[in-house]
Amino acid sequence: MTTRYPHVFSPLKVGHTQIKNRILMGSMHTGLEDLPDAGERMAAYFAERARGGVGMIITGGIGPHPTAGMGAKLLGPDDVAVHRQVTDAVHAAASDVKICMQILHTGSLAGTPDCVAPSPVKSRIARFQPNELTEEGIAEQIAAFANCAALAKQAGYDGVEIIGSAGYLISTFLVEKTNQRSDRWGGSWENRMRFPVEVVRAVRTAVGADFIFVFRISAMDMLQGGMAWDEVVSLAKALQAEGVDVISTHFCWHESFVPTIATMVPRAAFARVTGRLRRELSIPVITSNRINMPQVAEDVLARGDADIVSMARPMLADPDLVNKAREGREDEINTCIACNQACLDHTFTGKLTSCLVNARACREVDVVIAPAAAPKRIAVVGAGPAGLAYATIAAERGHAVTLFDAASEIGGQFNLAKRIPGKEEFYETLRYFGRMIELRGVDLRLNTRVDAAMLKDMGFDEVVVATGIVPRTPAIPGIDHAKVVRYIDVIRGEAEVGQKVAIMGAGGIGFDVAELITHQGTSAALDIDTFAREWGVDFQNHPRGGVTGIEPQVASNGREVTLLQRKATPVGQGLGKTTGWTHRLTLQRRGVKMVSGVDYVKIDDTGLHCTIGGEPVLLEVDTVVVCAGQEPLRGLYDDLVALGLPAQLIGGAFEASELDAKRAIQQATELAVAA
C-alpha cells in the first residue's frame, strides 16, 4: 500500500530488534496503575493502542525503590503478575508491537517526607525538602534501577525506558542548582553525570543485550542554570557508549516557567533541538512535544530531526491514530487539542486520566460502544460538543439519529473558542465531528431551529436536548448602556471594543476575551519564533536550559484591560491546574490588570462604578464586556415535557454551572453508549 507518510511507515532497527514504524506512544501516568484492578484496566487500555498500530509503547512511570513516589512500584517478584497481564494483552493484540516499561524515580518530587535527592534542595513545587543521599544510598538506588529493569524483563516487557529528565531524581544530579555535592557525585560535569552513567551500566548488565533500553534526557530543561548544550551532547554520548539503544529527548523541568505541551505551544516546536542532537549520535533519537497529527510527524522525520516520534496525549484522544494514518483516513483522527483538561490536570490533582475529546480514554472497560439492542429514531437538538458526541456515538451503535442546529455550522460554542489566539486546535475537533457525522450516517439539519411541536410531528422515539446555554446578564443598573457588550459579540467581531476595557467576570471566557482583545500579531501557537520570544527560549544559541533569563516580551495592541471578579480569591485560580499559570502570565506581561473582591454598582457614561475591597472606585472605561457565566437553555425541554414526549437533557442545557466541554462530552458519551 502506498502511503502519504513514507518516513513514518518505515521500520527501524532498535538495539537487538526492529520496530515496524516510527510512532511511539509516549509515557503517561494515568492513575490506572494505582487501581485495585490495575492489571485488567491497563491491559485493556494498552491493548487498544497496540491494535491501533503504534510501533512501540512506553508505559507510565513505575517506581524502582520505596522512595520513588508516584504510586505503582516494581520492587520484587510479587509485583510482576500485574505487569504480565499488560504485556500478554499487548502482545496478543499485536505481536509486532513492542512495549517498554518506564522506570521513574521522582526524587525530590516524590511528595513524601522520605524523598531523596543528591542535595537537600527543595523544589519550588515540592512538598518536602529531600533527604541527601549518602554514598550507600546512591549505591542502593543504582541497584534498585537494575533490579526493577530485570523484573520488567521477567514480566514480559520488550524493554525499559529510564526517565532522566523533568526534575526527577536522575536529572537533579545533572544540574548544579540541585546537585551541590562536593564528592564524586557532584561538582564537575564528569561527577554530576556519574549517577546516570552508573545507572545505565548497572541496568544493561542486569538485562543483557537482548532488551530495548531507552533513556530519556532533557534536551532543554527550560531552567535558568540548567544543562548547557555541550553537557546535553556529552551525556547522550556517554549513555550511548554504555549501551543505551535509543535516546529520547524531553523538553521539561516541572518547575520551569515555559509551557512545553499546552495548546499555545506550536506543533513540533522543539523537534529541531532533537535534530541537532541526533547529528551527534549514532543510535536512534526520539522527539516529542505537540506532535499530534501524522503529517507533523512525517515532516519532522523527513527533515532528519528524529528517528522516532513520540505521541503521548494523541494516543488518549485517538487510540487508532496510526491505523487511520496508514489507511489514508487522517480526516477521521480525533486530534488531541493539547488542552490538558482531562489528562495532566487530572494527573496533578490525583484523578484518573481521561481525555476531553475521547471520554473512553482510560475507561475502556466501563465505556463500551456496542451495537444497540433495539435501534431507535433519536432527535438530537444542538450540535455543540454534547450533541455532537451523543449523535455520532448513538449513530455508530445503529440508532437512526437526526441532529438539528439553529446555526449554519456544527460546533456550538467551539466556534467561539476556535477564534481565540492559542486555541486554533479546536478546529480539528470540529473537523473530526464533521467527518463522523458523514461516516456514521447522522442526518444533519443545519439552519433549523426546532420547537417541541415540530419534534412531536416528526415522531421520534426519543429527543436529546443539547441546546446549550445563554450568557448570564447580571442585574446591575446600566447593564443595557451602549458601552456594555456581550462576549459572544466581541468574539464574533460584531461589537465595538474601545481602548479602555473592563471585563466583568474572570472565568475561562473572561481570560479568553482578554487574550483576544489584547492580542497583537501572529498567534504564538502558530509560529515557533514568536513562541520563543514570548517565553524567553533561545533555540539558536541554546544557553543553559535553553532559556535567555531575560523577562520575555509579549506583544500587546496597547488596550488597557482590567479583568474583574467578585470573589476575593486570586484571579484565575479556577483555571486549569497545568495551564492556568500560562494564561495569567501572558496577560500580566501584556499589562492586563486583575482585580478580585469587586462589587459592581452601576455603569454610566463615565464608566463602571464599583467597590474594590469596600472602597468606591470608578473605572473610566469605554467598554464593559460581560463574561459573567451562563444559564442553561431549557425552554425546549420544558415544552417537550409538557407535551409528554420522552426527552433528556445533556451538556450546558442540563447544567451550566462549571460546565466545560470535557463534562459535556463525557456526559453525552456515557448516555449514548447506554441509549
286 binding ligand SF4? (CB under 6 A):
no
Dist CA 429 CA 292 (whole Å): 12
CB of 99 to ligand SF4, least distance (A): 20
Does the footprint of ligand SF4 cover residue 343 (CB under 6 A)? Answer: yes
> Binds 317, which of ligand SF4, ligand FAD, ligand NAP, none (CB < 5 to 8 A, cut-off by type)?
ligand SF4
State which residue, 220 or 675, has the beta carbon closest to ligand FAD.
675
Residue 355's binding partner among ligand FAD, ligand SF4, ligand NAP, none (Cβ under 5 to 8 angstroms by kind) is: ligand SF4
**Residue 34 DSSP class:** G
**Which of the choices ligand SF4, ligand FAD, ligand NAP, none does residue 664 contact, using the CB cut-off of 5 to 8 A by kind?**
ligand FAD
Q: How far apart are CA 46 and CA 645, in angstroms?
A: 42
Q: The C-alpha cell of 308 is what?
A: 522516532
Q: Measure CA 393 to chain center.
A: 23
Closest CA to 418 of 497, 526, 346: 526
State in angstroms the smallest separation of the CB of 476 from ligand NAP. Answer: 7
The amino acid sitting at 178 is: T
For CA atoms 400, 406, 408, 413, give the dihedral sign. Answer: negative
Q: From the list ligand FAD, ligand NAP, ligand SF4, none, which binds 566 (C-beta under 5 to 8 Å, kind-based)?
A: ligand NAP
Among 252, 339, 640, 668, binds ligand SF4 (CB under 6 A): 339
E-state strands within 391-489: 400-404, 443-445, 462-465, 469-471, 484-486
Instruction: State which residue, 320 or 405, has the beta carbon closest to ligand FAD.
Output: 405
Maximal C-alpha separation, the chain: 83
Among 109, 163, 236, 316, binds ligand SF4 (CB under 6 A): 316
Q: Does 422 bind ligand FAD (CB under 6 A)?
A: no
Residue 4 vs 449, nearer CB to ligand FAD: 449
CA angle at 613 for the pair 608 and 616, rounded to the nearest 5°: 40
Binding of residue 333 to ligand NAP (CB under 6 A): no
Output the smallest distance, CB 497 to ligand FAD, in A: 15
Candidates 62, 193, 277, 336; binder of ligand SF4 (CB under 6 A) is 336
Give the one residue of 152, 338, 391, 491 binding ligand FAD; rule: CB under 6 A: 491
Q: Which does 627 bind (CB under 5 to 8 A by kind): ligand FAD, ligand SF4, ligand NAP, none?
A: ligand NAP
Q: Does 505 bind ligand FAD (CB under 6 A)?
A: no
Shortest distance (Å) from residue 583 CB to ligand SF4? 15
Closer to ligand FAD by CB, 385 or 421: give it. Answer: 385
Of the candidates 675, 630, 627, 674, which has an alpha carbon nearest to the alpha carbon of residue 654?
630
Give me the residue label for grid cell 450516517.
441
| Pattern 651-670, ligand NAP, x by CB under 6 A | -------xxx----------
For residues 48-63, one letter each, b for 16 or more C-beta atoms within 10 angstroms of the residue's C-beta and e for the rest, the string is bbbbbbbbbbbbbbbb
Q: Which three cell numbers stand for residue 466?
A: 443539547
d(CA 87, CA 157): 6
Size of the chain in residues: 675
Euclidean distance between CA atoms 326 and 311, whole angstroms = 16
Distances (CA, A) of 128 to 100, 111, 114, 535, 646: 31, 6, 9, 29, 55
Looking at 5, 157, 168, 432, which residue is catalytic? 168
Active site residue 432: no
* Distance of alpha carbon 533 from the chain centroid: 23
Any contact of residue 341 with ligand SF4 (CB under 6 A)? Answer: yes
- Binders in 345-374 for ligand SF4, by CB under 6 A: 355-357
Residue in 194, 193, 103, 116 with CA at minimum distance from that of residue 157 = 103
**Residue 609 φ/ψ region, left for φ over 0, alpha for ψ in the -120 to 50 degree band, beta for the rest:** beta
636 binds, among ligand FAD, ligand NAP, ligand SF4, none (CB under 5 to 8 A by kind): ligand FAD
- Radius of gyration of the chain from its Cα atoms, rounded to whole angstroms: 26
End-to-end CA distance of the chain: 38
Shortest Å distance, C-beta 351 to ligand FAD: 15
Residue closer to ligand SF4, measured from CB, 73 or 254: 254
Q: Which does 381 bind (CB under 5 to 8 A by kind): ligand NAP, ligand FAD, ligand SF4, none?
A: ligand FAD
Nearer to ligand FAD, 315 or 338 (CB): 338
C-alpha span between 122 and 125 (Å, rounded): 8
Least Å from the CB of residue 479 to ligand NAP: 10
Report, in Å, the least distance between residue 355 CB and ligand SF4: 3
Q: Which of the stretches 5-13, 139-147, 170-178, 408-416 binds ligand FAD when contact is defined by CB under 6 A? A: 408-416
Secondary structure (3-state) at 274: helix
Instruction: Please give the grid coordinates belonging to residue 551.
Output: 523577562
Nearer to ligand SF4, 63 or 384 (CB): 384
Cα distance between residue 384 and residue 372, in whole Å = 23
The answer to whether residues 82 and 38 touch, using CB atoms and an 8 Å cutoff, is yes
Please select the residue that binds ligand FAD; options are 145, 211, 270, 414, rule is CB under 6 A.
414
By the rule CB under 6 A, 660 interacts with ligand FAD: yes
Q: Encode burial over 524-538: b for 16+ CB neighbours within 10 A, e otherwise.
A: bbeebebbbbbbbbb
Q: Which of 232, 469, 504, 672 binds ligand FAD (CB under 6 A)?
A: 469
Verify binding: residue 25, ligand SF4, rule CB under 6 A: no
Single out the residue of 316, 485, 587, 659 in contact with ligand FAD (rule: CB under 6 A): 659
Q: Binding ligand FAD by CB under 6 A: which of 148, 386, 592, 671?
A: 386
Output the 3-class SS for 367-391.
CCCCCCCCCCEEEEECCCHHHHHHH
Q: How far is the CB of 445 from ligand FAD (least distance, A)?
A: 9
490 touches ligand FAD by CB under 6 A:
no
Report the C-alpha gap between 232 and 370 in whole angstroms.
Answer: 49
Contacts to ligand NAP from residues 501-560, by CB under 6 A: 504-510, 512
DSSP string over 54-106: -SEEEEEEEBSSGGG-SS-B--SGGGHHHHHHHHHHHHHH-TT-EEEEEE---
Judged by CB, which is closer to ligand NAP: 86, or 497? 497
Closest approach of Cβ 567 to ligand FAD, in Å? 20
* 195 vs 426 by CB, closer to ligand FAD: 426
Question: What residues are annotated to the active site?
Answer: 168
> Which residues bind to ligand NAP, rule: CB under 6 A?
341, 472, 474, 504-510, 512, 565-567, 576, 627-630, 658-660
> Which residues bind to ligand SF4, rule: CB under 6 A?
313, 316-317, 336-343, 355-357
> Which residues bind to ligand FAD, rule: CB under 6 A?
339, 341, 381-387, 404-407, 412-414, 416-417, 420, 449-450, 466-469, 491, 508-509, 512, 633, 636, 651-652, 659-662, 664
